[in-house]
Amino acid sequence: MQTLKIMLPILIGVFLFMSILPYGKRENPKSDPSLALEAPANVQKIFKRSCYDCHSNHTVWPWYSYVFPLSWSVMDDVKNGRRALNFDEWKKYDEQTQAQLKDAIARKSGVTMPLKAYLWFHKDAKLSKEDVQTIQKWAYSKE
Ligand code: HEC
């Protein structure tokens, strides 16, 4: 009990300290709106709801992105997510990359994407069967 009384404040202190350390950045870089993906409204709506927090420059940073150790994990997910696929910079990709990304989107949607841990906090981001079909139809269409 005595040890706990000493250890607990230290532990809380360490977590608070880690939380305010300037590791990573919670920022939304500005990008030219004309570079953003243009997809039919029903497809766009699904991406905005379920993917944009990690795959766009319009991340809504949640409260837990300020709390260590979740903060580090969220910042990493957004950094790596944007690097892998950024809907706000879609038109920067060449045609071949866009085709590859569409294929990956069709395969991953509802399987590994959105990330499982994200869905714990964002129940509404879960893709329904219809959502996945809508995404795949768009991804495999030729336009
Ligand atoms: C919580 C953050 C998060 C959300 C939400 C999320 N992703 Fe991702 N996504 C990532 C991360 C991180 C990566 C890169 C590492 C990896 O491939 O696992 C990634 C990778 C990908 C890739 C791979 C790109 C490539 O180069 O092959 C695709 C495709 C993708 N995501 C699609 C989606 C789609 C579609 C949604 C929404 C239905 C979505 N993601 C939602 C974090 C996220």
Distances, alpha carbon 45 to alpha carbons 31, 35, 38, 90, in Å: 20, 17, 11, 16
24 within 8 A of 79, measured Cβ to Cβ: yes
Amino acid sitting at position 13: G
CA–CA distance, 110 with 133 (Å, rounded to integer): 10
CA of 143 to the centre of ligand 1 (A): 22
Ligand 1 atom with the smallest distance to the CA of 83 is: 14
Secondary structure E strands in the chain: none
Show the ligand 1 pocket: residues with CB < 6 angstroms.
50-51, 53-55, 77, 80-81, 84-85, 101, 104-105, 108-109, 113-115, 118, 127
Q: What is the pLDDT of residues 16-61, one digit of tens each?
A: 888 887 777 899 999 999 999 999 999 999 999 999 999 999 999 9
pLDDT band for 15, please (50, 70, 90 cuts).
Answer: confident
pTM, rounded to two decimals: 0.92
